[in-house]
Amino acid sequence: MQHSPNSYFYLLVAAVFLFITWLGYRLLTRWHEGYRRKGIAYGYWLVSITALLVMSASRTFRPVNGELSFYLQVLIYAVYAWVMGLIVLLPVMFGLYCVRFVLRKIRAKQQNVRPVSQEDGSPINRRDFLRGVTAAAPLASLAISSGGVFVGDNYITQQRLTLSFANLPEQLTNYKIAQISDTHIGPFFGMGKLDRVLTMIDQEKPDLLVITGDLIDNLSLLTPTMERINRFFPTVPQGIYYCWGNHEYFRNIAAIREAWKQSPVFVLENNNRKVVDGKRPFYLLGVDYPWADKKEDQQTKRRGFINRALSGVPEEAFRLLIAHHPDFFDNSFENNIPLTLAGHTHGGQVALFGKSLLPVQYKYMRGLYQQNGNYGYVSVGTGHWMPFRIGCPAEVTFFTLKPASPVLSARI
């Protein structure tokens, strides 16, 4: 089954971008006559439309030796910085509008207030001040968006959490699990970045590595990706486990499935595998992506997937579930599964004080959730589909299991 965005989706995105471009231009020209000059207007629209075309084509770029060329990378960064700058500009202009509105109200009540003056005695009224700020607003927006693109695409944090469990089997004390998710290997996550992530994991010496979906977007990199993961497999004592994300279906699920068949990595698709034996064994469960058009149908699929994954698992076993979609937390909490790891949301990629600022929200958006002593963790992603992050850096996550100890977390 192949699921992918159709042409109407891309047309809608283009239409929204053009509307944002038009709205930004209207706001700028209304506030500052300098932006009404023909040269500036032509340049603004030329750069914006060129950026839209390059951004649309960037998904099809084919890296050479696993990486984009330096000049192409710079071009893509510049394009995304411009596009995101236009989006950032709207709330900046809205904020300035609110400031102007408040100042007008104050001025209406205080008609006799003298204007602020410079040292040389020339007056600076509020209107001139706001016009100056408005003229600089595009540069401020571009600076913010450039940071979100250049820094956001290259910085990967290591998130370490220690989780306590009341009934943790003795053999799992200090057991360490590494998680990567949503790498989206392609134009913005090449082989160099994958090598860097694998080095991070190797330095932590985890017992187990899980990959919670959306590994690859550009199938021209499938072979070198699998070569690296297969070489890395022997360094993880108890193996690497993988579950499907939605982007595997977007690209070519048949080709990706065939590549995994040739790999020592364990692909869990609504099934389970015993990782550690003993009186209370450790089982790892994995589920597929719950494709459905309606919420009720997705809930039905999730229940079916989780029941199949639990089949044959002893009641006394310690269980870990990996899933791409975090809505499976509802099912795992209901079934008393101690730990569930997921991804998919990217944490929204834009956040303030740990909270996503994007209008698209999930019940479980990012970070750690707990219910009745069971945990669910949503990775913000090790990569991204779009190279832009603010307040939500990409991450590799490490979990250390402890018996009945406080939950500690630290970000490096």
335 domain residue, yes or no: yes
Mark whether 165 and 233 lie in a shared domain. Answer: yes
Q: Report d(CA 32, CA 133) in Å as an integer.
A: 10
Bridge partners (DSSP) listed for residue 401: 163
Taking CA atoms, 190 is separated from 68, 184, 213, 217, in Å, by: 8, 9, 17, 11
> What is the residue-averaged pLDDT of the chain?
87
Residue 241 lies in a domain: yes
Report CA dihedral (335, 341, 347, 349) to the nearest 10 degrees.
-160
Q: Are residues 141 and 235 in the same domain?
A: no
408 located within any domain: no
Final residue belonging to a domain, choices 101, 125, 152:
152
Is residue 412 a part of any domain in this protein?
no
What is the domain count for the chain?
A: 2
For residue 308, pLDDT over 90 is answered with yes
Mean pLDDT within 76-82:
86
* Region of poorest pLDDT, from 66-75, 127-136, 160-169: 127-136
Among 38-52, 72-86, 214-228, name the most confident range. 214-228
pLDDT in tens, 178-199: 999 999 999 889 999 999 999 9
Residue 111 lies in a domain: yes
Among 91, 119, 152, the domain boundary falls at: 152
Closest CA to 197 of 240, 162, 164: 240
91 domain residue, yes or no:
yes
Of 269, 260, 180, nearest to 225 by C-alpha is: 260
What's the Cα-to-Cα distance from 328 to each of 82, 113, 235, 269, 334, rounded to whole Å?
37, 61, 30, 14, 10
190 and 100 within one domain:
no
- Range(s) of the domain holding residue 51: 7-152
Taking the C-alpha atoms of residue 238 and residue 334, their distance in angstroms, rounded to an integer, is: 28
The reply to whether 167 and 145 lie within a common domain is no
Summarised one tens digit per residue, pLDDT across range 25-60 is 887 787 777 778 888 888 888 888 888 888 777 666
Same domain, 383 and 241: yes
Query: Tell me, what's the pLDDT at 412?
Result: 44
Residues 178 and 67 in one domain: no
CATH code at position 266:
3.60.21.10
Residues 301 and 307: their CA atoms lie apart, in Å, by: 10
Is the same domain home to 199 and 266?
A: yes
Query: What pLDDT was estimated at residue 122?
Result: 47
Alpha helices in 110-215 (DSSP H): 126-150, 191-204
Q: Could you write out the three-class secondary structure of 15-56?
A: HHHHHHHHHHHHHHHHHCHHHHCHHHHHHHHHHHHHHHHHHH
> Which residues are within 8 A (CB) of 26 and not within 5 positions of it... i.e. 6 or more apart?
none
Assess whether 353 and 338 both reside in one domain. Answer: yes
Judge whether 208 and 241 are in contact, CB under 8 Å: yes
Asked if 233 and 273 sit in the same domain, the reply is: yes
Same domain, 272 and 371: yes
Query: Is 378 a member of any domain?
Result: yes
Banded pLDDT at 244 (limits 50, 70, 90): very high
pTM for this predicted structure:
0.84
Out of 124, 152, 180, a domain closes at 152
- The shares of helix, strand and coil residues in the chain, as percent rounded to the nearest 5, are 45, 20, 35
Q: What is the mean pLDDT of residues 342-356?
A: 90
Largest CA distance in the chain: 86
Task: Identify whether residues 312 and 234 lie together within a single domain.
Answer: yes
**Mean pLDDT, residues 301-326:** 97
- Whether residue 367 is found in the same domain as residue 348: yes
Q: How many residues does the chain have?
A: 412
Give Cα 218 distance to the centre of its chain. 17
Report the run of H or E that residue 280 belongs to, with start and end. Answer: none
